[in-house]
Amino acid sequence: MIRDYLNRRYILSRLEEFVYMAEKGNPLDTFFPPFPESRAGRLLNRLVNVYRRDMNDRDTLTAARELVARESQDNIRQKKQLTQNINHELKTPVSSINGYLETLINNPDLPQAQRDAFLRKCYEQSQRLSSLLADLSTITRMDEASDRIEKEDLSLSEVIGEAVSDMEPLAGRLAIINNFPAGRDIFGNHSLLYSIFRNLLENAIFYSKGTKVTVSLVSEDESGYELSIEDDGVGIDSVHLDRIFERFYRVDKGRSRKIGGTGLGLSIVKNAVNLHGGTIKAVPVSPSGLRFEFSLARRS
Ligand code: ADP
């Protein structure tokens, strides 16, 4: 009798403790001990388990909501940053075109040689604008419609061959060595694949100051290809290596602008590689130079 009475009192005081925590929506202590073995105790233990599960679901839901909120804030921040960068990048060529045209209009007696020089500069800047707009449209296409990018069966060897022969006239004294074997196929998007090789070769030509750039197939299996594009030029300081794939990141701002780069080349390359199921990194080469190591899936 007395044992039953004490048991009931104990259950009641534990129940009070539980109701108090539940009313506050507090999580139950992991050490909240089970109710004693009895019909009421067993029912209460089941109730406690339901409460625990509910709290767990709520925690998972809250964590998921927080993650989504954080991601969308990051997204908004990145978009804002991109818009600011785009504005900044567009302003430079537009204001210099304005400046040259204004000078030409206000000074009709300018010597012909000077007029020609200004017109040439205008033309250069308008070309810069065109390549900026072309790069931006590629980036937007990859960002906004990545699931709608059309892919087809292609010869990867031929895409590489095309980029190599298009770049050869610009290479000057830098030799382009294409060691990628013939007959390697891929299911991919022609223009994005082409832009990977074109950008990497163009960079080696314009930035590396080296004597050669080599395209190689490092390994292959049934899932895809590991490739490298390596030059023996000046390379990139390790402080910049992790950042060169960011949009508008330039190692040497003055130099890149002068050459006409948009600062978007490597970010296009990275996106295009990702959209073909691969990853890319840049590795310093000893004694000097830069190697881009990347993979491409046969089907993505
Ligand atoms: P851009 O579109 O202006 O050419 P990228 O995104 O292609 O810019 O490249 C980013 C920066 O990385 C460039 O400003 C350049 O300084 C550097 N870079 C890229 N490739 C090489 C290379 N092969 N050797 C040395 N520097 C390079």
Q: Which two tokens stand for residue 212?
A: 């050669």
Task: Compute the distance from residue 208 Cα to the ligand 1 centre, in Å.
Answer: 8
Residue range 205-225, pLDDT digits in tens: 999 999 999 999 999 999 999
pLDDT confidence of residue 261: 76
* CA-nearest residue, atom 8 of ligand 1: 263
Task: Compute the distance from residue 40 Cα to the ligand 1 centre, in Å.
Answer: 73
Residue 268 makes CB contacts below 8 A (sequence gap 6+) with 135, 138, 139, 142, 195, 199
Of 6-15, 36-45, 171-180, where does the model show the most confidence? 171-180
Of 156-160, 191-195, 263-267, where does the model show the most confidence? 156-160
167/126 Cα distance (integer angstroms):
22
C-beta of 289 in contact with ligand 1 (< 6 A): no
190/200 Cα distance (integer angstroms):
16
Q: Does the CA dihedral 115-121-125-130 come out positive or negative?
A: positive
**Mean pLDDT of the chain, nearest integer:** 90
pLDDT confidence of residue 131: 84
31-40 exposure pattern, b = at least 16 Cβ within 10 A, e = fewer? eeeebeeeee
Residue range 49-106, pLDDT digits in tens: 888 888 888 889 999 999 999 988 988 887 887 788 788 788 888 998 999 999 999 9
Q: Is pTM beyond 0.85 here?
A: no
What would the DSSP string read from start to end of 53-69? HHHHHHHHHHHHHHHHH
C-beta of 204 in contact with ligand 1 (< 6 A): yes
User: Among candidates 289, 244, 249, which has minimal Cα distance to 270?
Assistant: 244
C-beta of 297 in contact with ligand 1 (< 6 A): no
DSSP H helix total and E strand total for the chain: 8, 7
C-beta of 252 in contact with ligand 1 (< 6 A): yes
Task: Compute the distance from residue 166 Cα to the ligand 1 centre, in Å.
Answer: 19
Q: What is the mean pLDDT of residues 224-247?
A: 94
C-beta of 136 in contact with ligand 1 (< 6 A): no
pLDDT confidence of residue 299: 96
